[in-house]
Amino acid sequence: MRWSWPDVRQYLRSMPQFVNASGGRAFEHGTAYVTGGIRAAALWLPPGVQQDDSALDEIVARSLTPEITGDMALLRQEMVEHHPPEPHWYLPLIAADPNWVGQGLGTLLMKSALQRCDEQGITAYLESSNPEHIPFYRRHGFKIIVRIQHGSSPPLTPMLRAAK
């Protein structure tokens, strides 16, 4: 997401709003998973729960530069096209405190959520915005659907995991 707001001040103003619009509904549904000490978190949207698209539209319109706005619109359009049509769990955000990366917290969060998916027999879906994270998702059973990239955007990789 850093590409979206190259200016650090704009990033610091906009990213918290983006996180809330993208995954804030996980808190309402009890599907925001956080490790002890708030060292890592994963915001999962349950089947039938969507991101707040109107808030995302407003954030994009208010905060992105004109050069990035068009590329972001195309990315978001393709993201919608690749969301599975069947009920699925959606992971819009997972992150760890940089001081705790590599300590297994992401794996802990992922295993817990995917166990729920498996128990319910429901697919899991995400879009990786960082190519370096794809091996992590693959280790948890996610498969690449497609790679999306427009203009100056970094590649975005929608990934799907069937319930086991």
76-80: long-range pairs with CB below 8 Å, 24+: 78/148, 78/150, 78/156, 79/127, 79/148, 79/156, 79/158
pLDDT digit string (tens) for 72-110?
999 999 999 999 999 999 999 999 999 988 889 999 999
| pLDDT reported for residue 1 | 81
| pLDDT reported for residue 156 | 94
| pLDDT reported for residue 128 | 95
CA distance 25 to 27: 5
- The position carrying tokens 């590329």 is 71
Residues whose CB is less than 8 angstroms from the CB of residue 79 and which lie 6 or more positions away in sequence, other chains included: 127, 148, 156, 158
The answer to whether the beta carbons of residues 37 and 17 sit under 8 Å apart is no
| pLDDT reported for residue 36 | 87
What type of residue is 97?
A: D
Going 62 to 5 to 65 to 54, the CA torsion angle's sign is: negative
| pLDDT reported for residue 107 | 93
Q: Both tokens of residue 101? A: 């990366």
Predicted structure pTM score: 0.92
Q: Domain 2-161: which topology?
A: Aminopeptidase (3.40.630)
Residues of the chain under the 50 pLDDT cut: none
Q: Kindly list the domain boundaries of the chain, sorted by start residue.
A: 2-161
